[in-house]
Structure 1
Amino acid sequence: QVTIIPQEVYDSSEIASKIGMYLDGRDIDFKNKTIFLKPSFVFPVSDMDKTIAINTHIAVVTGVARVFSERGARTIFIAEHRTQGRARYAFAMVGIKKAVKDIQNVKFCYLDEKPTKLVTINNPFIKDHMIKYPKMLLDGTIDYFVSLPKLKGNNYAGVTLSIKNNFGLISKKERLKHHDDSLHEHLADIALIRQPDLIITDAIVSGEGNGPSETDPVKTHMLIVGSNCLAVDIACCYLIEKNPKEVRHLKLLSERGIGPLDISEVEITNKAYLDSKRKKFRDPDLNLNVHPGIKIYKGKDVCNQGCIAFLRSYLDSYGKNLGWDVLSGMTIIVGKDLDIPEEELKKLEKKKTIVYGECAKKFKKYGVYFKGCPPDYIIAFFKLSLQTKLPNNPYFQYVSYPKFVKTWLIYLLQRVFRF
């Protein structure tokens, strides 16, 4: 069963009241239980307007934390892994600490500082797949795992819903291992380890188009709540008129019996409200030809969920914030099985040429080479700014360098002294 809770604004008190009524109607005892809240702080910046269609809003996180605190939970962990900088940096930037300061029993769980266990997936979608997963979700520490995804488009996975939100449980290194055309299988395997006990999707303002970091806000005015991850994700797909059969990780998990794939199989409370808010969202656009002044050399064999999606995200970060003209004159070389005439290669200006990924390695002397399969996206942002003729990436304006340095130092100190 999935419940649609109308919610027009980000008011943590209203959200707490409505989620409280939902939980009280299910007669679940949370007294002395340990709760694990997993929001998405994928873009850790302090500008709430910038991230309203990107991150799980802190009003949702705060409201949900308050509900469990008022019902006697022993500990409420708010947990997230690192994206840009350490996890501590994300928490410092989004303002969650100040927002929950008056809520009892809340603790911050920096997943990049927590022990992991190497899990061998039973009957994995990727052969011999093993994943380093948070130990606390496996050893009985956590009574209730609550996923708090933001509904948005995603260049890599098509959509970000509760299954994609699990990606933030594992390290960047683990994420990049299969950040290629096996990404959906990777996501499905992570979901096989442990599914959330409750999903509360932030669809008050949803993100349309190219995510995770450049979605356009759409007011959808609801929370989408349920206990089956697939059922909730299917309801989210229904809201944005996305065929869930086209989202491979949802299809794989449904075939494995985790949950339904068709909206007709989902019992929805308040479906009339859901129907009234339905809107066809634009799918993410992975076309690299975003400006007539860009030259693209793309091999026959190239990963859309890896190098292509990353490249489009970099282009979006420049084009949507500085204007697409800033990309004019750039050349991109990506993919396998690519033959470029020598006379064309000799004409390329090295600092205006991006040679991206292991598959394009043979062309590295003709441009700025980004190694990796796929390349590390944080390193890529720096290289684009420092080694090419592109200007500094506009995302750097959101960085708090004092907080960045401080949280790195705290991270290093706790690694040594284990405080």
Structure 2
Amino acid sequence: MAKPTVIIRHCPDYDVSRIQTLAREGLETLDLRPHGRTLLKPNVVASGEQFPHAHTRAEFVEGVLRALRDRARPDLDELAVGERCGITIPTRYAYKGAGYYEMIKRVPGTKLYHFEEETQVEVPFYHKDRLRDSTFTPEPVAKADFFVNCPKFKAHPWTTVTFSLKSYIGIQDDRHRLIDHDHKLNEKVADLQYIIQPQFIAIDGIIAGEGRMLTPLPFDLKLMIMGDNQVAFDAVCCHIIGIDPLSVEHIRLAYERGFGPVELDEIQILGDVTLDDAKKRAHGFEKGLIRVEDYFEGTNIHAYSGPYPGGSKDDYCWGGCPGAMEEAIEILRQFDKKTDEKMPPIHIVFGAYEGEIPAKLGEKVIFIGDCTTYKGNIAGNTVDIKSQYVDRSTKDPRTASDEDIFAKMIKMEHKMFKARHDEILRISGCPVSVAEQVLLLVKLGKLD
């Protein structure tokens, strides 16, 4: 049996013709020919002037699309791009900010899907250790004959990295994406692999994103990496930035479930850039995975976290509310460089926290998330915050619902107005999304 292949190519800029050539050569090397319903999924979690490095660039997608047409079999029925951007914001808005509407016109005959606007298809799961017996995915994903994953090379504050495997969070609409998007996030990502596997992977590593996911810092990597197996692909990307792929939980889970190898001697690495040279280029790349207490150290936001339901003392909800708060503050910092100066001293609590909260009189204390609990004295007052957590077994994907940004804005505005004189505040949700926490911080810091 042939080894999975990862191809590392030098790509100095976003020249469409060069990207097209590299992608076509990659498809030829892997002996791949698009056919039937061919669907390309980029990462367009966020876009626009404030999020220039969060998404797969339009020029990159255009080059890959052109290469797919170059290599297509005569029975290519449809060439399409599809994605669900970050929770709450319409994908149409993200596509516009990323220049996808203009790009798609330059590749005639290519369709553009907005996954939350498509019919959602139930997909049953039969594998061992699954979180639930089925999930939902947009119909274009379920019907794809040739699937192409075009992620962005980025760090991630909740999962260390987001390469190929993690990008699958975008093959669900908000209703189903939010289910299990908590301390089980890595298991959720592993479960999503059973929906579909890509025939071709091409990651935008020309300008990579370090440190964060929505507001990453640009890192000039000048690489276009391609492959035909997601686990092998992500393993090589991990080695490039100097981390053990098995230390990344969703990669380890996919590996243990047989989706591909992580051992370098089981992977064929080709291209005009060696793995060692790629490592040199990535030297100093800032990874993710920082606890919320450490993230806000030295600022006016004092964060405290306890374990998630059923967790031991040191457990932490990497996929839920704490990470969303980290992304929320970075978004506000993008829009207003004086955000930290304007923010009053506040205390934010996650999970089952049992330590001291040294808030002074007049300082607000915010308990975020359904699972947050606390019993103790705060500024001379006895406080008892009880869990509102509902076990995941009671959540049915068939009846899942979501709210758009306008509904969330109205609800947060109403809640903050009612609690304007309160020093103790509870924000419910599992998880409480990045958008909701942005709105919360805006009201707390009077940043609007």
Q: Give me the TM-score of the superposition, normalised by structure 1.
A: 0.83
Q: Residues 359-386 of structure 1, C-alpha deviation per residue, up to 9 Å, x if partnerless?
A: 336549633432111113323322322x
Deviation at 1:345, TM superposition (A): 6.2
SS in 1 for 2:122: strand
- For residue 148 of structure 1, what is the aligned residue in structure 2? 150
Q: Which residue does 1:366 correspond to in 2?
A: 423
Aligned residue pairs total 380
Deviation at 1:268, TM superposition (A): 0.1
Map of 1:120-269 to 2, 5 A cutoff?
120-138=124-142, 141-209=143-211, 211-269=212-270
Q: Which has the higher helix share?
A: 1
Worse overlay, 263-272 or 307-316: 263-272
Contact in 1 for aligned 2:147/2:198 (Cα 8 Å): yes
CA shift at 1:261, angstroms?
1.7
Question: Which shifted more, 293-302 or 191-200?
Answer: 293-302
Query: Residue 325 of structure 1 corresponds to which residue in structure 2?
Result: 341
| Richer in strand (by share) | 2
SS in 2 for 1:220: strand
Structure 2 residue aligned with 1:316: 330
Q: Give the Cα–Cα distance (whole angstroms) in 2 for the partners of residues 41 and 272 of structure 1.
A: 27
Give 4+ residue runs of structure 1 displaced > 4 Å after superposition.
Answer: 361-365
Opposite residue 134 of structure 1, the aligned amino acid is P
Aligned counterpart for 2:296 among listed residues 289, 297, 300: 289
SS at match of 1:360: strand
**Conserved 8 A contact 2:46-2:85:** no
- How has the CA–CA distance of structure 1 residues 74 and 374 changed in structure 2, closer, same or farther, with 3 Å as cutoff? same
Corresponding residue for residue 408 of structure 1: none
Q: Which residue in 1 is equivalent to 2:63?
A: 63
Residue identity opposite 1:296 in structure 2: A
CA positional deviation for 1:161: 0.7
8 Å Cα contact 1:74-1:105 kept in structure 2: no
Tell me the CA shift for residue 339 of structure 1: 5.8
Report SS of the residue matched to 2:213. coil
Name 2:41's counterpart in structure 1. Answer: 38
- In the TM superposition, what are the counterparts of 1:107-118 in structure 2 within 5 Å? 107-118=111-122
Indicate conservation of the 8 Å contact 2:207/2:221, yes or no. Answer: yes
Gaps of 5+ in 2: 309-315, 374-383, 386-418
Cα deviation per residue 1:31-80 (whole Å; 9 max; x = unaligned)?
x63210000111132x2xx5443211111101111122344543211101
Amino acid of the residue matched to residue 203 of structure 2?
Answer: T
Q: 1:388 to 1:12 in 2, by over 3 A?
A: same
Distance 1:155 1:124 in 2: 28
Q: Which consecutive unaligned segments of at least 5 residues does structure 1 have?
A: 393-419
CA change 1:339–1:7 in 2 (3 A) is closer
Letter in 2 for 1:372: G
Which secondary structure does the structure 1 equivalent of 2:67 belong to?
helix
SS of equivalent to 1:74: strand
- Evaluate the alpha carbon distance shift between residue 291 and residue 326 of structure 1 in structure 2; reply closer, same or farther with a 3 A threshold: farther
Cα–Cα, structure 1 residues 2 and 391, in superposed 2: closer, same or farther, change >3 Å? same
Counterparts in 2 of 1:4-15, with a 5 A limit?
Answer: 4-15=8-19
**Structure 1 residues 229 and 330, CA, compared in 2 at 3 Å: closer, same or farther?**
same
SS class of match (1:100) = helix
Query: Tell me, what secondary structure is at the counterpart of 1:259?
Result: coil
TM-score with structure 2 length normalisation? 0.78
The answer to whether the Cα contact below 8 Å between 2:20 and 2:66 also exists between their aligned partners in 1 is yes
Q: How far apart are the structure 2 equivalents of 1:220 and 1:339?
A: 43
In the alignment, what sits opposite 1:298?
A: 305
Check conservation: 1:294, 1:329, Cα contact below 8 A: yes
- Does residue 97 (structure 1) correspond to residue 101 (structure 2)? The answer is yes
Compute the displacement of 1:26 (Å): 4.2
Alignment RMSD: 2.4
Match of 1:335 in 2: 351
